[in-house]
Structure 1
Amino acid sequence: MAVSLDPRLMEILACPSDDHAPLRSGTPTDPDADVLTCTSCGRGFPVVDGIPVLLLDEASPPLDTPED
C-alpha cells in the first residue's frame, strides 16, 4: 500500500539528516512501499499507521543502485 499523506505535509517534510532534503513516497524499486525516501541521501523512513517515523536510528540505509 502506498504512503498516503496530505500533499501540504509532504511539502514540508524533510530528511532529519544534516542536508534536510525533501522526502518522496516509496522507494526507487517499490513506489508503493510504506516508506518515505530522502531525495538526497536515499535513507528510507518507515510510515507506521500513517505516521512517518523520521528518526535516523529507525531509517533503512540507502539502496545501492546497480552500476551499468
Structure 2
Amino acid sequence: MKIDDWLLEILACPACKSPLRAEGGAGDEAGELACTGCGLVYPVRDDIPVLLVDEARKP
C-alpha cells in the first residue's frame, strides 16, 4: 500500500502530536507509520493506518 504524501502531512502521532513517517513494506509501500517524536510505531492494516496508542509498539 502506498500512503499519499498529502496524507502523511496531516497525520500526527496521537500520543505526542509529532509528524509520522512511513516505514517498512516493499518499495514505496508502507507497512507501518513511525512517530518522529516519541518513536511509537503504528501498524497499517488493510490499507488503513491504526492510530491507537494501545495498538502501537515501542521502538
Correspondence for 1:57: 54
Looking at structure 2, the residues matched to 8 and 20 of structure 1 have their Cα atoms a distance apart, in angstroms, of 17
Aligned AA (1:52): P
Aligned residues: 55
Aligned AA (1:6): D
Q: Please report how far the alpha carbon of residue 21 of structure 1 lies from its aligned counterpart in structure 2 after TM superposition.
A: 0.2
Identity, % of aligned pairs? 51
* TM-score normalised according to structure 1 size: 0.74
Query: Quick check: 1:24 aligned with 2:21?
Result: yes
Correspondence for 1:6: 4
| Structure with greater strand percent | 2
Looking at structure 1, the residues matched to 40 and 6 of structure 2 have their Cα atoms a distance apart, in angstroms, of 22
Q: Computing the radius of gyration over CA atoms, which structure comes out larger, 1 or 2?
A: 1
Structure 1, unmatched stretches of 5+, are: 64-68
CA RMSD, Structure 1 to Structure 2 (Å): 1.3
